[in-house]
Amino acid sequence: MVSFGERLRGERERMGLTQTQFGDLAGVTKKTQMLYENGERSPKADYLTAISGAGADIEYVLTGNRSVRGSIGSSEVSRLEDGATLVDTLAGSGQLAAVKMYDIEAAAGDGRSLEQEEVESTLYFPTDQLAAQGLDPAQVVGIKVRGDSMDGTLADGDWVLVDRSRREPKPEGVFLLLVHGERRIKRVQRVAGGAWLLISDNEHYQPEMIKPEDMKDVEILGRCEIRIGRVS
């Protein structure tokens, strides 16, 4: 199956542009364009809108289906209603899922739901690709990682997609948690007696024991499923 990055590269080559020239269309560097094409980073909606305005076939890049506009040799231009972008149109059709991205450090915590927090940005993902990962787009949010406690798994500044439907009572894995009113990303391990260990993958941090009588102070907000971050 041809990936998003491969389709993006193919569309750039169809237009006869270098990575530098293509990146300039949307105000990104050659390095960023390279990361998009290698599948190491996902572009934001403003990038997709910009290259669409420059003539790229965004429907093909996102779904693999050629639009009339993007067909080689065609002089026809697809029309969108009342200034809507192609991203808006595809999102409305269900082909793209809008995932709200939150900064875990900026979030106030204190029991507030994420919906009450300020959205830092919105990223769009093909719905079928999320479904292939077993994710319901309606249950997915993005969280920006802060600090170095999860180094080795998640780095400071990474984004992670969190499946809010995964709130199992016997968790094992990396979860977004509300602990004493503070949102944290930790690896959860169950131990004898019904207690949990909240583990930081950075060995410089000690695990935190949550005893059964203290479970009332801990809430699972979702399981961390997909990391989006820089390649070091």
pLDDT in the model for residue 74 = 36
What's the rounded Cα separation, in Å, for the pair 232 and 149? 17
pLDDT in the model for residue 197 = 93
> What mean pLDDT is predicted for residues 36-60?
85
pLDDT in the model for residue 81 = 47
Of residues 49 and 87, more confidence is placed in 49
Reduce the secondary structure of the chain to three states and give it as a string.
CCCHHHHHHHHHHHCCCCHHHHHHHHCCCHHHHHHHHCCCCCCCHHHHHHHHHCCCCHHHHHHCCCCCCCCCCCCCCCCCHHHCCHHHHHHHHCCEEEEEEEECCCCCCCCCCHHHCCCCEEEEEEHHHHHHCCCCHHHEEEEECCCCCCCCCCCCCCEEEEECCCCCCCCCEEEEEEECCEEEEEEEEECHHHCEEEECCCCCCCCEEECHHHHHHEEEEEEEEEEECCCC
Tens digit of each residue's pLDDT (9 = 90 or more) over 194-229: 899 999 999 899 999 999 999 988 999 999 998 887
184 lies in the same domain as 216: yes
Kindly tell me if the per-residue pLDDT of 29 is higher than 90: yes
Answer with the one of 36, 70, 93 that is the final residue of a domain: 93
Looking at the structure of the chain, the number of domains it has is 2
182 lies in the same domain as 72: no
59 lies in the same domain as 170: no
84 lies in the same domain as 102: no
78 lies in the same domain as 143: no
88 lies in the same domain as 113: no
68 lies in the same domain as 13: yes
pLDDT in the model for residue 139 = 93
147 lies in the same domain as 205: yes
* CATH number of the domain bearing residue 34: 1.10.260.40
What is the extent of the structural domain holding 130?
A: 98-228
pLDDT in the model for residue 159 = 87
> What mean pLDDT is predicted for residues 64-84?
48
Q: Which residues contact 188 (CB under 8 A, 6 or more apart)?
A: 171, 172, 173, 174, 175, 177, 196, 197, 198, 199, 220
Kindly tell me if the per-residue pLDDT of 178 is higher than 70: yes
Residue 165 structure tokens: 């439907």
Residue 96 structure tokens: 């793209």
151 lies in the same domain as 212: yes
40 lies in the same domain as 138: no
Average pLDDT, the chain: 81
What's the rounded Cα separation, in Å, for the pair 26 and 54? 9
Give the strand order in the sheet containing 159-163. 121-126, 96-103, 140-144, 159-163, 218-228, 173-179, 182-190, 196-199, 208-210
140 lies in the same domain as 68: no
Answer with the one of 58, 78, 93 that is the final residue of a domain: 93
Answer with the one of 55, 75, 93 that is the final residue of a domain: 93
Tens digit of each residue's pLDDT (9 = 90 or more) over 92-139: 666 788 888 888 764 444 445 666 677 888 888 888 888 888 899 999
* CATH number of the domain bearing residue 217: 2.10.109.10
130 by Cβ neighbours in 10 Å (0-12 / 13-18 / 19+) ranks as buried
193 lies in the same domain as 218: yes
Question: In which band, very low, low, confident or very high, does the pLDDT at 73 lie, cut at 50, 70 and 90?
Answer: very low
